[in-house]
């Protein structure tokens, strides 16, 4: 007597095989939906080519339960395409098997898998512009009137738009620089003139960030390519020494302002540089 059809959960090794062969993408042709999101959560769906139970699509009574949960009968898809393939006439077994084979063949070589999943991550992040900077106006004692606040908000949002096109690691380094400058502003390792660029000695950054000199220089050159900073000598008691600078924006050292605001309000600077969220500068919601 044949066994009764029963839905069995895929084995861990089966799931591992499916994911490795998926390239982290839905197996439906031309779909770029990720199976695991940036937080490491599995957001895809494990789909049967031939159903696990009798009432399911493309059920095959000749299969046993182990065969139904094997990797050869499963594929990873996004929710919409999983539901779309419930149309058995349009998506019979042979069509789904071809989808699976073609998709897994694309990722049979690691170098091809990397190329397939290349994405411009700066296009996936939604910047949150400042609206009124009322909170910053009070906290930083800026004493701006309504018209001045509007002009300052516009300037901040122009800077935010520039940041939004910069790769996340470069933005993170910029934020770390700004915070380091504030921590060391009363030492000779930092120069924060009223009408000039903030500068920090490379020798200080090497120790603080545990980077090699070449590592600091490489990061600074990347900032320079985006107009956010760069390399420039800093005058010290020992003469000119190599330093990294943070560029001013239209005459205003915005990162200096943001870093001082973050310190006073206990807001992580990553809120601004990594999450591209400038709304903490606004007046908080009244509850």
Q: Are residues 186 and 232 in the same domain?
A: yes
- Residues 22-32 have a mean pLDDT of 90
**Domain boundary residue, one of 82, 102, 119:** 119
Per-residue model confidence (pLDDT) at position 287:
43
Same domain? 28 vs 114: yes
* Tens-digit pLDDT profile for residues 195-211: 889 999 999 999 999 99
- The CA distance from 205 to 115, in Å, is 34
- My answer on whether 134 and 204 are in the same domain is yes
Strand segments, DSSP code E, in the chain are 45-48, 74-77, 190-191, 198-201, 229-236, 239-246
User: How many angstroms separate the CA atoms of 5 and 63, rounded?
Assistant: 9
Q: Which of 119, 149, 169 is the last residue of a domain?
A: 119
pLDDT at position 111: 59
Model pLDDT for residues 37-95, shown as the tens digit of each residue: 877 888 999 999 999 999 999 999 999 999 999 999 999 999 999 999 999 999 999 99
In this structure, are 39 and 88 located in the same domain? Answer: yes
Spatial distance between the Cα atoms of 239 and 192, rounded to a whole number of angstroms: 17
Helices (H), 60-107: 65-68, 79-84, 93-106
Q: Are 100 and 75 in contact (CB under 8 A)?
A: yes
| Domain-embedded: residue 287 | no
Q: Are residues 61 and 135 in the same domain?
A: no
Quick check: is 286 in a domain?
no
Residue with tokens 């182990």: 66
Give the mean model confidence (pLDDT) for residues 7-14.
91
In a domain? residue 190: yes
pLDDT higher than threshold 70 for residue 286: no
Where is the domain boundary, 78, 99, 119? 119
155 lies in the same domain as 243? yes
What's the CA gap between 237 and 114, in Å, rounded?
50
Task: Inform me whether the pLDDT recorded for 166 exceeds 70.
Answer: yes
Q: Is residue 3 part of a domain?
A: no
Domain that holds residue 42: 12-119
Can you tell me the distance from the alpha carbon of 177 to that of 206, in angstroms, rounded to the nearest whole number? 12
Question: Is residue 1 predicted with pLDDT exceeding 60?
Answer: no
Least Cα distance to 275 among 267, 283, 263, 265 occurs for 267
In the structure, what pLDDT confidence band is assigned to residue 106 with cuts at 50, 70 and 90? confident
Q: How many domains does the chain have?
A: 2
Helix (H) or strand (E) holding 254: helix 254-265
User: Is 111 found in the same domain as 61?
Assistant: yes
pLDDT in tens, 177-186: 999 999 999 9
Question: Looking at the domain assignment, is residue 252 inside a domain?
Answer: yes
pLDDT given at position 194: 81
* pLDDT at position 2: 66
The structure's pTM equals 0.60
Q: For position 119, what pLDDT does the model report?
A: 62
pLDDT of 112 > 80? The answer is no
- Is the predicted pLDDT of residue 285 greater than 60, yes or no? no
What's the pLDDT tens digit per position in 117-137? 556 666 667 899 999 999 999
Using CA atoms, how far apart are residues 176 and 228, in angstroms rounded to an integer? 13
Residue 218 falls in which region: left (phi positive, over 0), alpha (psi -120 to 50) or beta: alpha
Residues 109 and 179 in one domain: no
101 & 198 share domain: no
Mean pLDDT of 95-115: 78
Q: Are residues 167 and 57 in the same domain?
A: no
* Same domain? 157 vs 268: yes
Q: Do 131 and 111 reside in the same domain of the chain?
A: no
Reported as a single tens digit per residue, the pLDDT across 247-258 is 998 888 999 999
**101 lies in some domain:** yes
**What confidence score (pLDDT) does residue 40 get?**
83
Has residue 1 been placed in a domain? no
Query: Does 187 reside within a domain?
Result: yes
């Amino acid at each position: 007597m044949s066994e009764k059809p029963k839905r069995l959960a895929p084995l861990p090794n089966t799931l591992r095989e499916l994911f490795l062969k998926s390239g982290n993408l839905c197996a439906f042709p031309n779909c770029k939906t990720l199976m695991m999101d940036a937080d490491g959560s599995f957001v895809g769906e494990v789909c049967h080519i031939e159903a696990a139970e009798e009432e399911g699509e493309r059920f095959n009574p000749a299969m046993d339960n182990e065969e139904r949960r094997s990797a050869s009968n499963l594929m990873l898809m996004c929710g919409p395409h999983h539901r779309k393939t419930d149309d058995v006439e349009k998506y019979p077994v042979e069509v789904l098997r071809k989808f699976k084979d073609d998709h897994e063949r694309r990722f049979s070589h690691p170098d091809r898998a990397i190329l397939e999943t290349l994405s411009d991550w700066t296009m996936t992040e939604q910047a949150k512009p400042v609206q009124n900077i009322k909170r910053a106006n009070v906290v930083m004692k800026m004493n701006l009137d309504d018209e001045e606040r509007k002009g300052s908000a516009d300037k901040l949002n122009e800077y935010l738009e520039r940041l939004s096109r910069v790769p996340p690691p470069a933005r993170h380094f910029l934020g770390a620089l700004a915070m380091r400058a504030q921590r060391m502003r009363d030492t000779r390792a930092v120069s924060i003139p009223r009408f000039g660029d903030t500068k920090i000695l490379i020798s200080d950054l090497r120790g603080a960030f545990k980077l090699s000199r070449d590592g600091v220089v490489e990061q600074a050159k990347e900032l320079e390519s985006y107009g956010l900073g760069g390399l420039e000598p800093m005058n010290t008691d020992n003469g000119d020494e190599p330093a990294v600078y943070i560029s001013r924006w239209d005459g205003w050292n915005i990162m200096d302002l943001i870093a001082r605001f973050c310190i006073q309000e206990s807001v992580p600077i990553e809120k601004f540089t990594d999450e591209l969220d400038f709304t903490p500068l606004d007046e908080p919601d009244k509850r």
